[in-house]
Chain A
Amino acid sequence: MSLLHLAIISPFLLAILVPIAYKLFRQIHTGWFVLPLPILLFSYFISYLSITSNQQSVTKSFSWIPTLGIDFTAKVDGLGLLFALLITGIGALVVLYSIYYLDKNKEKLNTFYVYLLLFMGAMLGVVLSDNLIVLYTFWEFTSFSSFLLIGYWYHREKSRYGAQKSMIITVFGGLSMLGGIILLYLMTGTFSISEIIAQSDEIFSHALFVPALLCILLGAFTKSAQFPFHIWLPDAMEAPTPVSAYLHSATMVKAGIYLVARMSPVFAEHSLWLWLIAGFGITTLFWGSFSAVKQTDLKAILAFSTVSQLGMIMSLLGIGAAALHFETVEDSIFTVATTAAVFHLINHATFKGSLFMVAGIVDHETGTRDIRKLGGLMNFMPITFTLAIIGTFSMAGLPPFNGFLSKEMFFTGMVRVLEMDIFNLDTWGFLFPVLAWVASVFTFIYSMILVFKTFTGKFQPEQLEKKPHEAPIGMLISPIILASLVIIIGFFPNIISNTLISPAQAAIMPVEGYVYDTHIYFWHGFTPELFMTLGVITLGILLFVTLPKWRSVYNLFPEKLALNRFYDSMLEVSQRASFNLTKLYMNGFIRTYLVYIFSFFIVALAATLVLKDAFKFDTSEVATIHYAEVLLALVIAAASVSILFVKSRMTSIILLGAVGYTVSLFFVIFRAPDLALTQLVIETISVSLFLLAFYHLPKLRHEERMGFKMTNALISVGVGAIVTMIALSAHSNKMFPSIAKYYVENTYKEAAGKNMVNVILVDFRGFDTMFEITVLGIAALGIFAMIKLRLEGGKKNENK
C-alpha cells in the first residue's frame, strides 16, 4: 500500500472519525474538521502535475484478490488526475460552503459529512483505479452515497422518492456495467484497463465485443444522466444544495463521461461507439436545454442544464472517437472535439458549481427557489448578482468567459462532422451541427431566465418568507473562487491547456510516442462558428423577450408520454404484478401448492417419456397371471375408486383398509407369509389409529365435502398413469440379476443368521437401521411433545 492508496482511502478513514468529533465538539461546526482533508488531498494531487504534464503516468499496485486476478492498482494519468483535482478542489469549496449553508444546531451534521466523505473517497477510487472490478466497487459506492445524500432530508416525501429513483437507475446501469466488465474479462483474461487497452486490436472482432460495448455504455449513460435515463437527476435536486453542486453537477454525474473517456482506446474504433455516444449525447443536449426553459424552480433549471451540458460533453467524446479511425491521429481534424470535451468538462465544473451555490444562496436568503416569486434581488444582493452574471454568461457561451471558448470549439467539432465520410455520417451527419445550434439557442434562453428573472424585474416581498439580504461572506468565498476561475480561464486558457487538457487527451486517445500539444485561441477570424454564436445570441434574445408568447409550445407535448410517467407506472405495474402473482400463485392453500407440484411432476416426467420415446413394455419376462390375481386387482381398484364417492369418513377409512388387506393377500399368493403377516398387522394398526383419530375430530358438515373438481381428477389420474408407465418401463429393463440371490447365499455364511430379513436389518444394513431408529426416536419425541400440549393445552390460545 502506497501513499497514493492512502490518499484514496483517507476520506473513508476520516468518515469513521467524524461522528466522534461531532459528539465531542458540538459547539464547533463539524465541517471545519472535514475541510482540511480535501485541501490536503488537492495539494497532494497538484504534485503529480509535473509527471502528468509530460503525458506520463504513475502506477502503484497491491494485490487484493489474486485468486480472481483483482489487484488494487491505482494509476494517475492525465485523465485521472484532472478528475482527482476536480473532486478534491470542488470538494474543498463545497465543504467550506456547506459550513455556512447547514445550521449546526438544526441539522444532523455527523451523518451529512460521513456520507459526503464516503462519496469523496469513492469518487477518487473510481477515477484512479486501473482495475475494472475496483472501479466498479467504488462506482457503486458513489451511487449509494448519492442515495443517502439525496434522502438526507428524509422527512420530505420527494426526497425519498428522488433517492430511490436515482439509486434504482444508476445501480441498474452499474450492474450492466459489471456484466460488460466480465465480458471484457472473458475476451482478454484481465481486469486491468491498461492491459485491456493493449489487447484492444485483438478483441475487436470478438463476438462479445459489441455486447460488452453496449453494457459498458449503459452504465455510463445511466450515471451521466443521458437521455432517456436523465429523469433521475432533476429529482435528485431534493438533496441539500452543496450536495447538488458537488455530486450532481461537478463530479458524480461526470463519472459516466469518465468511463467513456477511459474506455475510448478500447472501443472507439467501432462505429457503434461513435454513433451511440454522439447520438445519445446530442439528443440529451437538445432535450435537456429544451426542457430547462419551461422549469420554474432555480435548481430544476440547473438540473436540466446539467443534463444538457453532460450530453454536450458526451457527444464531443463521440465525435472525437472518429480521429482514431485514421492512420494518423496527430493531425486529424477530429481531435479538436476531444479537446473541447475535456476543456468544457473543466469549464462546466467551474460555472455550474458557482451557479448552484448562487441558487443555494438565493434559497437560503429568501426561502424560495421559485422564479415566479423571485425578482429584483439585484439591489439586495449585489455580489451574488455579479456571480450569477458571470456564471450564466459563461454557460450561455458569451465572451470573455471560459464557456465561450469551449462553446466555439464545440461548434467546430460539430461542423467538422460534415466532413466525415465514414460510418454513413455523410447522410445524417448534418443533424449534428443543426441540433447543436438549436440547443445552444435554448441554452442561451434559460441562462437569461436564470439570471434576469431572479435578480431583475419586479421585487415581490410579499411572496418571500424572509427579507432578502446579502449572504455571509463565508458562503460567498466558494462561488467567488469559482467565478474567478471562470474569468481567468476565459482570458488565459493556455494555463491549463498543456497542464490539464493535453495530458487528459493523451489518456483518451493514446498514440505511441506522440505528445499532444494544445493551444486555445480567442480569435479565429470570421469563421462559421463565430456566425453561429452571433446567430445564437440574436435569436436567443429575441425568443427570451417573446417567451410568454410561445411558452404554450410546452403544453403541446403530451403529459402521458413523459418519461417520468413511464418510470412511475413501471414501479406501479411491478408492484401490482407482484401483488397479483402473490394472490394467484402463493395463495396460502396447501392444496393449490400440491397442484403446482404434481403438475410439474407430471409435465416433466411425461415430457421426458414422450420426447425421448422412453416408454417400453416388455412382457417376455412376466409370469402368467392367475384369475385370483385379476380378482384381487379389481377389488383394490374398486375400493380405491369408491373412497372418492362415499359420504362418511368411517367408510373411507374402512375402504382404505380394504385396499391394504387385499395387498397382503397378494403376498399370500406370492408365497411370502411373513410379509403378508407384517402387512396385515401394519394395516390393522393404521386403520384403528385412523379410526381413533377421526373419532376425536369434529364431524364434517355435509356441504364441506368437496364437489367434483376437474383439475384434481386430471392430476390424480395423471400421477397414477405416469407412475405406472415408469414402473412398467423400469420393469422391462433388467440389467443384472436380482440382489435377492446374494442374501440367500450369504445370510448364513457371512452373518450366521437364519432369518434373512433380520440379518439384513441388523447386519448388512446395520448402520442405516441405527439411524432409522434415531429418526423414529425423534418422531417419538415429537409425539411426546404433542401429547404434552394436549395435556396442558387449551389453557390459553394466544390467537383468540
Chain B
Amino acid sequence: MDLETLLSYEWGIMTPEFIILGVATALSLMDLFMPKSQSRKILGWVGFAGVLAALVSLLGLIGHGPESILLDTFRLDSFAKAFKLLLLIGSAMVLLIATGYEPNEGLEEFRGEFFYLFMAALLGAMIMSSSGDLITLFVGLELLSISSYILAGMRKRNLHSNESAMKYVINGSIATAITLFGMSYVYGLTGTTNLKEMAGFLTSVYNEQHIYLLGLAFFMIVVGLSFKLAAAPFHMWAPDVYQGAPTPVTAFLSVVSKTAGFIIMIRILFSIFANAPSGDAQGLPMILALQDYVAFLAGATMIIGNLIALRQRNIKRLFAYSSIAQAGYLLVVIASMSLFMFDTLWFYLGAYLFMNLGAFAIIQHVTHKSGSEDISQFAGLYRRAPFLAIAMAIFLLSLAGIPGTAGFIGKLNIFMGALVPSEGHYVLVSIMIATTVVSYFYYFGVMVQMFFRPAGDTGKVKIPAALTAVIGISLAATILFGVAPNIAFDFLQGNFNQFTDFFQ
C-alpha cells in the first residue's frame, strides 16, 4: 500500500475513534507526569470531555453515507453510527459515576489507570461496532476484554475484587478461545476474513459437509460471544465480577460492555450467516434455520437470571442477575429476527443504558455511604432522600417493564417483534412474560425496602454533583422515552433508515 492510497482514504470517518485514542494516550502521559500527591479526579474530567468530543464528532458524521476505508476493515454504516452513539453516551455517564466514586479502600492510587484503561476499553468497543473484518472485530473484542479484566481487579486490596478479576480472566479466555475457534472455521471455509466477501462466498456453498461445519462455527461463535452478554451458558462470571468490581466498573460491564457484546454478535451473525444456506429443502438461510438455538439460549438466560435473582441480598449481585435476565430479553430480539430487529435492539439497549446506569449511580451512592452492599441499606430511603428513592423506583419500574417508562416501550417492541412474524415465537414470549412476573418479586422487594421500611440511618445524604447529573439525565430519559418514545423512533427512522445499509 503506497502513501497515495493511504492518504486517499477518508480518515474523517474515524474521528471519534481517533479522539478516544488520543485522549487515552494523553491520560496515560498525564498520569505519568503528575505528582503522586495530586488527585487524579481531573483525569476523569478530561476523559469525560474527550468522550463528549467524540460524541459531537459522531453526531457530525450522522448524515454521512455508508463508507468504508482500509479495505473494508473499518466501515461507517448506520448500524455503527447508531450503536456507537449508545456506547459513547453510556461511557460518558459511567465516567461521571466514576468521578464520584470514592471507596474507602484501594482505588485512590490507581485512579489514573482506571481512566485510561477505561478509554482503551471504549476504543475496543467502538472498533467492534464499525468493523467489516473478522480480525479487526476480534482485536476490538480483545482490547475491550483485557481492559475489562484489569478494571474488574482495580480494588486490589479487596479479596472480592481479586477473586472477580481472576474468574473474569479465566472465563473470558475460555470464551475467547471458543469464539476464535469458531471464527477460524468460517475463515477456513471462505478463505477470507472480510465479512462482506465471506457473505458473498457463503451464498454459493451447497456442499452438505460445508454447511454442517458452518453450523458448528455458528454454535461456537454464539457460545463464545454469550460471555460478553453475560447470557447463558457463559453468565456465571457476572455475579462474582459485578459484586467484586468497583461500582463504576460494574456499571460499565453491565451497560457498555454488554452493548458491545450485542454489537459484535449482530455484526458477525448477520453479516456471515444471513445469506448462508442451511441445507434444508426450502432454501432457508442458515440464521433462520438456527434461530431456535438462539431462542433456547434466550429462554434459558431469562429463566436462570430471574429465578436466581429472587434470593439475592447483595444489591450488586441482584443487579448482576437482573442484567443476565435483561440480556435474555435482548436475545429474544435476536431470536425473533423481525424486520425491526435493529430498531428494537437499539431502543431497548438505550432504555437499558439509562435505567441501569441511573440505578447504579444510586447504588454506588447508597452502598458507599454505609460500606455494606446488603439490600437493607435501602431501607427507608424514601424518608432520608425522597428524590433518590423516587428516582430508584422509576428505574426499577422501568427495568420491570411497567408502562410509562422507557423499559415498557422497549419490552412492548420486543413482544411485537417476536409475535408479528408469521410463525410467532409464542413459547419465547410466554417465557418472557412468566419470568417478567418473577422479576417483579425482586424489583418490588427493593421498592418495599425503600418505601415500606423504617430508616435505619436517619442522616440526610448529600449527593455529589456528578452523580446528581447522571441520575437526573437517566431519570429524564427513562420517563421521556416512556412517555414520548416517538422522539427515539423518529430519530432512528430519520437518520438510519431501518439500517438497510448494514447488508450493503
Residues of A within 8 A of B (CB): 64-68, 133, 136-138, 140-141, 144, 147-148, 151, 154-155, 159-160, 163-164, 167-168, 171-172, 175-176, 178-179, 182-183, 185-186, 574-575, 577-579, 581-582, 585-586, 588, 590, 593-594, 596-597, 600-601, 604-605, 608-609, 612, 614, 616, 723, 726, 729-730, 732-733, 735-736, 739, 763, 765-768, 771-772, 774-775, 778-779, 781-782, 785, 788-789, 792-793, 796-799
Task: Give the residue of A159, A577, A578, A768 whose beta carbon is less than 8 angstroms from that of B139.
Answer: A768
Instruction: Of the listed stretches B166-174, B252-260, B350-358, B361-369, name the one at the interface; the rest are far from the partner chain.
Output: B166-174
Q: How far is the CA of A510 from the CA of B449 in the complex (A)?
A: 48
Q: How far is the CA of A187 from the CA of B427 in the complex (A)?
A: 18
Listed from nearest, the 10 A-B pairs whose CB atoms lie closest are A614-B212, A154-B452, A137-B403, A578-B310, A593-B236, A771-B139, A67-B489, A782-B150, A799-B159, A600-B233
Task: Give the residue of A140, A163, A575 whose beta carbon is less than 8 angstroms from that of B402.
Answer: A140
Q: How far is the CA of A541 from the CA of B298 in the complex (A)?
A: 61
Q: What B residues does A739 contact at CB under 8 A?
A: 191
What distance in Å separates the Cβ of A581 from its nearest Cβ neighbour in chain B? 6
Q: Mark B207-251, 1 if CB is under 8 A from A, else 0.
A: 101101101100110010000000001101101100000000000
Q: Does A767 lie within 8 Å of B70, measured CB to CB?
A: yes
Q: What A residues does B191 contact at CB under 8 A?
A: 735-736, 739
- Is B45 on the interface with A (CB-CB < 8 A)? no
Q: Does B110 lie within 8 Å of A785, measured CB to CB?
A: yes
Q: A178-B415, A799-B157 are in contact. List 20 more A-B contacts (CB 8 A).
A: A64-B484, A64-B486, A65-B409, A66-B486, A141-B404, A144-B397, A144-B402, A179-B429, A574-B438, A582-B308, A585-B308, A604-B223, A605-B216, A612-B212, A733-B189, A733-B207, A767-B136, A772-B139, A775-B139, A775-B143
- Is B48 on the interface with A (CB-CB < 8 A)? no
Name 8 interchain pairs, CB-CB below 8 A, sorted by A: A67-B485, A141-B403, A574-B310, A586-B308, A735-B191, A735-B207, A785-B156, A788-B109
Q: How far is the CA of A163 from the CA of B447 in the complex (A)?
A: 12
Q: What B residues does A164 contact at CB under 8 A?
A: 444, 448
Task: Give the residue of B127, B233, B486 whose beta carbon is less than 8 angstroms from that of A771.
Answer: B127
Q: How far is the CA of A693 from the CA of B486 in the complex (A)?
A: 58
Q: Mark B191-211, 1 if CB is under 8 A from A, else 0.
A: 100000000000001010110
Task: Give the residue of B104, B146, B210, B415 whose beta carbon is less than 8 angstroms from that of A775.
Answer: B146
Task: Give the residue of A163, A171, A579, A792 whose beta carbon is less than 8 angstroms from that of B452.
Answer: A163
Cβ-closest chain B residue relative to A739: B191
Q: Does B438 lie within 8 Å of A68, measured CB to CB?
A: no
- Is B473 on the interface with A (CB-CB < 8 A)? no
Cβ-closest chain B residue relative to A723: B181
For window 58-114 of chain B, which residues contact chain A by CB distance below 8 Å? 70, 73-74, 104-106, 109-110, 113
Q: How far is the CA of A169 from the CA of B99 in the complex (A)?
A: 42
For window 149-197 of chain B, which residues contact chain A by CB distance below 8 Å? 149-150, 156-160, 166-167, 170-171, 174-175, 178, 181, 185, 188-191
Q: How far is the CA of A74 from the CA of B214 in the complex (A)?
A: 54
What distance in Å separates the Cβ of A72 from its nearest Cβ neighbour in chain B? 10
- Is B433 on the interface with A (CB-CB < 8 A)? yes
Do A614 and B213 form a contact, CB below 8 Å, given A736-B191, A772-B139?
yes
Q: Does A735 lie within 8 Å of B486, measured CB to CB?
A: no
For window 24-70 of chain B, which residues contact chain A by CB distance below 8 Å? 28, 70
Cβ-closest chain B residue relative to A763: B1
Q: What A residues does B429 contact at CB under 8 A?
A: 179
What distance in Å separates the Cβ of B232 from its nearest Cβ neighbour in chain A? 8
Cβ-closest chain B residue relative to A136: B403
For window 418-458 of chain B, which residues contact chain A by CB distance below 8 Å? 419-420, 424, 429-430, 433, 436-438, 440-441, 444, 448, 451-454
Number of A-B contacts (CB under 8 A): 228
Q: What B residues does A179 contact at CB under 8 A?
A: 415, 429-430, 433
- Is B120 on the interface with A (CB-CB < 8 A)? yes
Q: What B residues does A163 contact at CB under 8 A?
A: 448, 452
Q: What B residues does A172 contact at CB under 8 A?
A: 437
- Is B469 on the interface with A (CB-CB < 8 A)? no
What distance in Å separates the Cβ of B5 from its nearest Cβ neighbour in chain A? 12
- Is B372 on the interface with A (CB-CB < 8 A)? no
Q: How far is the CA of A772 from the CA of B486 in the complex (A)?
A: 42
Q: How far is the CA of A64 from the CA of B448 in the complex (A)?
A: 32
Q: Does B110 lie within 8 Å of A729, measured CB to CB?
A: no
Cβ-closest chain A residue relative to B155: A798
Q: Which of B1, B160, B233, B489 has the most CB of A within 10 A?
A: B233
Q: What A residues does B404 contact at CB under 8 A?
A: 137, 140-141
What distance in Å separates the Cβ of A318 from its nearest Cβ neighbour in chain B? 26
Q: Does B150 lie within 8 Å of A160, measured CB to CB?
A: no
Q: Does B113 lie within 8 Å of A781, measured CB to CB?
A: yes
What distance in Å separates the Cβ of A697 from its nearest Cβ neighbour in chain B? 14
Do A735 and B451 form a contact, CB below 8 Å, given A601-B223, A605-B220?
no
What distance in Å separates the Cβ of B251 from its nearest Cβ neighbour in chain A? 20
Task: Give the residue of B117, B181, B213, B239 whose beta carbon is less than 8 angstroms from that of A586.
Answer: B239
Q: What A residues does B416 contact at CB under 8 A?
A: 68, 182, 185
Q: What A residues does B486 contact at CB under 8 A?
A: 64-67
Q: Does B149 lie within 8 Å of A730, measured CB to CB?
A: no
Cβ-closest chain A residue relative to B411: A178
Q: What B residues does A774 contact at CB under 8 A?
A: 120, 123, 143
Q: How far is the CA of A185 from the CA of B70 in the complex (A)?
A: 47
What distance in Å separates the Cβ of A88 from its nearest Cβ neighbour in chain B? 22
What distance in Å separates the Cβ of A16 from its nearest Cβ neighbour in chain B? 12
What distance in Å separates the Cβ of A453 from its nearest Cβ neighbour in chain B? 33
Cβ-closest chain B residue relative to A133: B412
Q: Does A601 lie within 8 Å of B178, measured CB to CB?
A: yes
Do A726 and B433 form a contact, CB below 8 Å, given A600-B223, A767-B70, A779-B146?
no
Task: Give the residue of B158, B185, B210, B402 whose beta carbon is less than 8 angstroms from that of A798.
Answer: B158
Cβ-closest chain B residue relative to A574: B310
Q: What B residues does A65 contact at CB under 8 A?
A: 409, 484-486, 489
Task: Give the residue of A64, A67, A799 whose beta carbon is less than 8 angstroms from that of B493.
Answer: A67
- Is B271 on the interface with A (CB-CB < 8 A)? no
Task: Give the residue of A67, A168, A767 whose beta carbon is less than 8 angstroms from that of B440.
Answer: A168
Q: Does A151 lie within 8 Å of B451, measured CB to CB?
A: yes
Q: How far is the CA of A175 from the CA of B438 in the complex (A)?
A: 12
Q: Does A183 lie within 8 Å of B433, measured CB to CB?
A: no
What distance in Å separates the Cβ of B426 from its nearest Cβ neighbour in chain A? 8
Q: How far is the CA of A767 from the CA of B413 in the complex (A)?
A: 39
Q: Which of B178, B234, B311, B397 has the most CB of A within 10 A?
A: B311
Q: What A residues does B239 contact at CB under 8 A?
A: 586
Do A608 and B219 form a contact, CB below 8 Å, given A154-B452, A168-B441?
yes
What distance in Å separates the Cβ of B103 from its nearest Cβ neighbour in chain A? 10
Q: Which of B158, B170, B205, B402 has the most CB of A within 10 A?
A: B402
Q: Does A614 lie within 8 Å of B437, measured CB to CB?
A: no
Q: Does B210 lie within 8 Å of A735, measured CB to CB?
A: yes
Q: Does A798 lie within 8 Å of B157, measured CB to CB?
A: yes
What distance in Å separates the Cβ of A223 from its nearest Cβ neighbour in chain B? 15
Q: What B residues does A167 contact at CB under 8 A?
A: 440, 444
Q: What A residues does B485 contact at CB under 8 A?
A: 65, 67-68
Q: Does B240 lie within 8 Å of A588, measured CB to CB?
A: yes
Q: Does A785 lie within 8 Å of B493, measured CB to CB?
A: no
- Is B499 on the interface with A (CB-CB < 8 A)? no
Do A778 and B150 form a contact, CB below 8 Å, given A171-B437, A614-B213, A799-B158?
yes
Q: What A residues does B178 contact at CB under 8 A?
A: 601
- Is B466 on the interface with A (CB-CB < 8 A)? no
Q: How far is the CA of A346 from the CA of B47 in the complex (A)?
A: 64
Q: What B residues does A140 contact at CB under 8 A?
A: 402-404
- Is B408 on the interface with A (CB-CB < 8 A)? yes
Q: What B residues does A775 contact at CB under 8 A?
A: 139, 142-143, 146
Task: Give the residue of B135, B212, B438 whose beta carbon is less than 8 angstroms from that of A608.
Answer: B212
Task: Give the residue of B110, B174, B219, B493 whose beta carbon is less than 8 angstroms from that of A605.
Answer: B219
Q: How far is the CA of A137 from the CA of B401 in the complex (A)?
A: 11
Q: What B residues does A597 contact at CB under 8 A?
A: 171, 174-175, 233-234, 236
Q: Does B110 lie within 8 Å of A154, measured CB to CB?
A: no
